[in-house]
Structure 1
């Protein structure tokens, strides 16, 4: 087999004796650990210079897990008992580092995947980075739902005189002291960034373009998410939603009076169908009620000094923060594959979206957070282990063998 293209004689070629995993975030680490636990070697390719680069480089300082730690554990290893109920960003990063060390996961850093394609002639996946082409029978896509920031198109944004940043580069409200800030987006990030700005004497104006479910993070001392999970064991989804909304009304009041209109579909059903996560309030709602966070309708257009809104108001701002979320980047590098849709999500919904054809797998695309990641990682490892046992090489001590093609 000609393992390197003639025009790429400088490219190193690597046969991987096990699956290729693209991405060293929680999803990639989880599936690598499950494979290792089953005696199957793998190689993890990571475009950044560290594990969990989204958490390390693209999250704000005050971030804590929005769900209790038992719902955010990766397979085979829980959080340290000393960690609080809602671990901080830095605690979660340290947990992932401990996890990688425990399972001897050593990703290949600075290996941004440019293309991945299935070679039907040799029935192998060819995964190309800047300097290496990796080949394997299995490819596991673990880049996840949140690989790239979503930058919305806003009329006139180029005219605005001040800085415009995405929450992926926002760190702290300390950079916005005494500023009037427009926060575009009202999800968990938009709410929490607005709250953080308040704590640093800034004046946030939060744009609410769509309907949104806001729930208390806890109800009567219990995690709202955990409470919902228990109810779902006994009650239909729509009944659980009715219970959650009733209790949210008792805890938070009528959020529609604050400009936060609720969707007609309940929070858990909406999450299942569309992936839209309800906002779990950690203090922003009280700041909205007190007027410290102003709720604004959609932006009609930006001006040099500020914004015009759809309700006719016009206001000046010093800075703009886009709390507009993230998206998958799979379509930019995975070629000739109909397993993913145009948005880079598996076409087959959870719980069956983890396995494609020809040795292709996906993990971290369930829209169900780390619980979904853990579930898929276990399934993938078990499936590959069966193939490894039946067809795999008897000698699996070496995870890969590097082959070089000498320049003629």
Structure 2
């Protein structure tokens, strides 16, 4: 037996619930399948305590529901989760939880067939629909790079998705690997809990404050990206000085150009730069190898650590279960086309949450997908669409 619907949505993070909400408002039946036991599991279970939205709230709201006026400009994790819970209730989004999708394929050229394992009963369930929306996003599974000797490291090794706060690391030597927003904030959090902290940085980064990013996004409404970037490259130098003195390299490209063309977000300084300048956080280059508790870096430096936190991002899991991709995804499970042309494939295949544009990208894609499905359904019904 199979359950039939119009649209099957894989994933109940912000992307999945936003798409379901948009479809519900258009009275288009849909089913949301989620492998965890709650919506937004990345936010509820796999994010550190001090996390806040790095963009101002007006850039982070989902379709058809603004944040409450009393929420601060930069919304903390617990309030964002509260907003998401209110969102699913308001728009009658009812995911099926504990459903781990094992395959999704196109059947008979007319419908999608999704097989999912029910973790509660261990039974395989089958769902069929005209449309398939992949909403598992860019951040599906935590990624830890291969490091020579890592398996022999005697201390604790965690991915940033397993880190909540630095309480248990007080007095310990901790290396944070990665200088994205998670890495830079976790390093700061660890220092505040009394850890001795170092951070391993592989690539050049643009460092901005939350307020600088908010100002820049406002300017981009009126000025070309290259003009805004030149302004901010000057502002970064004025704010932080020559960061190369502290082991940090700045890319030649500006922060907003890199975000638009590669999806690489600027790093938001939450106080970490001051800790680096005072020496409370050491900066090392990439790891070359690990021998016991001694870590060697590409600079030739070595140091002992008792714990490693890999803030090295996530990877898409689409290729593990998607059998027919409708020409949408590449070998890495990411869209072949860049935004804004990334969201639609062939044969009723869509994706939401892969634009590399954060929550504002999710909101835009969810509405595009819902409206496109409505258009196709109307055309199939033989009605004129104006």
Q: TM-score category by the smaller chain?
A: over 0.9
* Partner in structure 2 of residue 128 of structure 1: 115
Asked if residue 262 in structure 1 is aligned to residue 250 in structure 2, the reply is: yes
Asked if residue 161 in structure 1 is aligned to residue 154 in structure 2, the reply is: yes
Pick the structure with greater CA Rg: 1
* Distance in 2 of aligned mates of 1:258 and 1:26: 37
SS of structure 2 residue aligned to 1:175: helix
Q: CA deviation at 1:392?
A: 5.8
For 1:157-306, list aligned pairs within 5 A: 157-218=150-211, 224-306=212-294
* Distance in 2 of aligned mates of 1:393 and 1:150: 47
Q: CA deviation at 1:167?
A: 0.4
- 1:357-389 deviation digits (Å, cap 9, x = unpaired): 100011110000011111111111111112233
- 1:175-234 deviation digits (Å, cap 9, x = unpaired): 10100001111111110000000000001110011111111222xxxxx23322232233
TM-score by length of 2: 0.95
* Distance in 2 of aligned mates of 1:393 and 1:233: 40
- Unaligned runs of 5+ residues in structure 2 are 118-123
* Partner in structure 2 of residue 321 of structure 1: 309
* Partner in structure 2 of residue 353 of structure 1: 342
SS of structure 2 residue aligned to 1:204: strand
Pick the aligned partner of 1:43 from 7, 31, 37: 31
* Distance in 2 of aligned mates of 1:279 and 1:393: 50
* Distance in 1 of aligned mates of 2:31 and 2:381: 16
TM-score by length of 1: 0.90
- 1:102-139 deviation digits (Å, cap 9, x = unpaired): 001110000111110111x2511011112211110000
* Distance in 2 of aligned mates of 1:310 and 1:182: 15
* Partner in structure 2 of residue 400 of structure 1: none
Q: CA deviation at 1:55?
A: 0.6
* Partner in structure 2 of residue 406 of structure 1: none
* Partner in structure 2 of residue 4 of structure 1: none
SS of structure 1 residue aligned to 2:362: helix
Moved more, 293-302 or 93-102: 293-302
Q: CA deviation at 1:393?
A: 12
- Unaligned runs of 5+ residues in structure 1 are 1-11, 219-223, 395-408
Q: CA deviation at 1:273?
A: 1.8
Q: CA deviation at 1:163?
A: 1.0
* Distance in 2 of aligned mates of 1:71 and 1:377: 15
* Partner in structure 1 of residue 296 of structure 2: 308
Q: Larger relative contact order (C-alpha < 8 A, sep ≥ 6)? A: 1
After superposition, the CA RMSD in angstroms is 1.5
1:216 touches 1:248 (CA, 8 Å); kept in 2? Answer: no
For 1:115-154, list aligned pairs within 5 A: 115-119=103-107, 121-130=108-117, 131-154=124-147
Instruction: Classify 1:256/1:388 alpha carbon distance in 2 versus 1 (closer, same or farther; 3 Å).
Output: same
Pick the aligned partner of 2:100 from 112, 135, 139: 112
* Partner in structure 2 of residue 63 of structure 1: 51
- How many residues end up aligned between the 2 structures? 376
- 1:46-98 deviation digits (Å, cap 9, x = unpaired): 00000001111110111111111111000000111121111111111110000
* Distance in 2 of aligned mates of 1:186 and 1:270: 16
Q: CA deviation at 1:287?
A: 0.5
SS of structure 2 residue aligned to 1:115: strand
SS of structure 2 residue aligned to 1:268: helix
Q: CA deviation at 1:306?
A: 2.2
Please list every run of at least 4 consecutive aligned residues from structure 1 whose deviation after the TM superposition is greater than 6 angstroms: none
1:143 touches 1:328 (CA, 8 Å); kept in 2? Answer: yes
